Chains A and B, each alone.
Chain A
Amino acid sequence: MTEFVTRFGSLKDFDKGHIEIINDNPKYYVFSNVFEVANGAKPYEKVAVAKNLEYVIEAIRAEGTSGWMAASHDEFCIVMDGQVDIEFVKLDNPDAVAPASKEGTVAVQGEPKGKRMGSIRLGHGHQALLPKGAAYRFSSAGTSVMVQQSILGDLTVQKWGEICYS
């Protein structure tokens, strides 16, 4: 019986694919690789690797401890490499931090005011809910890679020309 080997990528071991153009523009495919992007990113820089109108997927290099963040809507993160801890605080006044009119991740100024909700430790391939109304912060003892599902916001970094095939 065939023994299958599932190949995941990592920060230290990834093999980027390619585009073979027949009659097209490679820029239209906005092709990048999350591990390559994380390799060239600052810790917790939220680099957009996909954008669909207002929505984004951000690649994040998790290293050390992030600042506190929140959003007026649910967000989600998936660990692509390494291990990431998330702490959560239920905000006493979430609208003051991330009003409904404001989309995307916002930075929480200072320590979040509210009750501690607990923590989640994520390993490879694990996905967590970053719930609306909660502040959260990440920490990683080593260097890890995540993707985050969110909406284009003040913290989103767009540098398509640097990260994509052209």
Chain B
Amino acid sequence: MNAIAEKIPATVAGYKTFELGGFTFLRDEYFVTITWPVKDRRQSHTMSADAFLRALMRDVAWGFFYGVVNFDHVFGTRNLYGKVEFFGGRLNEHYHNNGLSYVEVFDTPRAMKLIKEILADWCNEGFDPFAAPLETGDAAFGEKHGNNLKAIDRFRVATRRMPGLDGDSPLRGDDNGYAINRAFADVAQDKPVIKAEPGFEGELHAFNLFAYLSRSDVTWNPSVTSVCKNSLFCPTTEEYILPIIHGNDRVEWFLQFSDEIMWNITDKETGRPRARVLMKAGDVAAMPADIAHQGFSKKRSMLLVWENGNPGIVKMHESGEIPPYPVTF
């Protein structure tokens, strides 16, 4: 018996419904329901609307990021770099082993266009999917009311070398709309002292990274602050729960700059729990290439996410040329 209607309504509670290939996306006052074809029927899956929109926001902002963006333990996307895979149940061994998983690959521009439309229609006025719950409240819920295009049009800051250099990304300050976040009011705003000899004024450069981070207006959104070839320092500020379970396609490293984050680690392919990692200020840890991770930050914290942007690294892992662990000792 097919419990899911063949035709979904055009709108529910004022929200548009959407289709992408075999997937349907419907939201109501509280929830998002996703369906996909399996065997002779359709499988459905339900998420809280705010959690879905926070995850979708990261897919938009990060261009589907590195590897897998699990919205939860069932639905997500996998970046194939030029194409993107949407999946239901594929990385959940119970769905997959029972024939209830579904995977469909789309050209990235087509998928990106659709998820931007979903985000634009489903984010109500006052709901910022980049903000912590204490900042944005419960505006995600209820019948459709307005929108928040300003919040969702933010993009990942692209830095070529280091913020503040001539022609590079800007530093943050009150003058360009970056106020100090309420949780970092105690972070010093002093600046390095640069004494350049005549002729070298543009070549010596430094800034207060912690002050820069204290003025981040988003959570769980890494942005590059230094580039050494393919080595990218991508610090970010974290509060509440990482809205996705990030499945690595390469080794990623974390250096906790301030406060603490608890990480739940699961197997990337099955979702089985593997470990929990508590990181406090000064701690460094690798996230291996065969795991998925989700962080919990009880107070807004500063985290350095360190990425290797080498485009060949995914194939190196997939072929077994390099192990999923960065160091053997």
Q: Which A residues fall within an 8 A CB radius of B?
A: 3-9, 14-24, 26-36, 49-53, 55, 57, 73-76, 78, 80, 88, 90, 115-129, 131, 134, 147, 149-151, 158, 160-161, 164, 166
Contacts and interface: CB of A to CB of B under 8 A. Distances in A.
30 contacts: A4-B182, A4-B183, A4-B184, A4-B299, A7-B281, A9-B282, A17-B256, A19-B277, A20-B277, A22-B274, A29-B288, A31-B283, A50-B284, A55-B231, A55-B308, A57-B255, A76-B226, A78-B209, A80-B282, A117-B196, A118-B196, A125-B187, A125-B210, A126-B206, A129-B162, A129-B204, A129-B205, A129-B226, A131-B203, A131-B205
Given A7-B259, A73-B228, A128 B206 contact: yes
Interface of B: 161-162, 165, 182-188, 190-197, 199-200, 203-211, 225-231, 233, 250-251, 253, 255-260, 265, 272-288, 299-300, 302, 306-308, 310, 313, 322, 324-327, 329
B203 A50 contact: no
B277 A53 contact: no
Nearest to B204: A118
Contacts of B190: 123
A128 B209 CA distance: 9
Contacts of A123: 188, 190, 192, 208
A90 B275 CA distance: 48
A41 to B, nearest CB: 14
Contact of A53 (B225, B280, B313): B313
B204 A127 contact: no
From B182, B275, B278, B281, name the one whose CB has the most chain A CB atoms within 10 angstroms: B281
B200 A118 contact: yes
